[in-house]
Amino acid sequence: MKNRLEEDKTIWGYNAVVDDEKLDLKRYLILIKRTNNPLSTKHLDIIIGNFKQETSELGVNIESSFYLHGSYDWFLDITAENIIQMKKFIEIFTRLLTGVVSDIQIQEVIFPVKINNFTNPDLDRIKDFFEI
């Protein structure tokens, strides 16, 4: 069964859920709204390629990328060492997609409760962020 699911690409791959804090990384969630301008093949190729060529030296890693329906059109889940790296990424991103992006929202993850269906083993630490 597992082999068949892998062969027909029902299972895309496997990964480990890592503790970003132990790797000295921060996680950022990026919401992107596009303009009504048509998307060129060049722009689409950049997006599909996850900006690897353009951002390879930044130390930014795109963990997940989703095309959306709703208030925003794209969602990126990114890890970086700090907000400076993240801002540099956004600067490159907006330059590469000039005329295509109308709004970008950056959210820093403070505490991951659940990732890829795995509950954080240090879940009790979330209480440190609230006065109870």
Which pLDDT belongs to residue 75? 95
Nearest to 24 by CA among 85, 88, 65: 85
pLDDT, averaged in runs of 10, over the chain (132 residues): 87 89 95 92 80 74 92 94 92 88 95 93 91 76
Residue 53's pLDDT is: 66
| CATH of span 20-111 | 3.30.70.920
**Residue 59: its pLDDT value, please?**
84
72-97 pLDDT tens trace:
999 999 999 999 999 999 998 888 88
Cα–Cα distance measured from residue 76 to residue 64, given in angstroms and rounded to the nearest whole number: 6
CA atoms within 13 A on the CB side of 70: 8
Distance (Å, rounded) from C-alpha 57 to C-alpha 120?
30
pLDDT score, position 111: 95
Q: Which residue has the tokens 């353009």?
A: 54
The Cα–Cα gap between 46 and 108 comes to 24
Torsion of the alpha carbons at 90, 93, 97 and 98, rounded to the nearest 10:
50
pLDDT at residue 25, rounded to an integer:
96
CA distance 76 to 65: 5
Distances from the Cα of 12 to the Cα of 9, 78, 106, angstroms: 5, 19, 27
What's the pLDDT at 84?
93
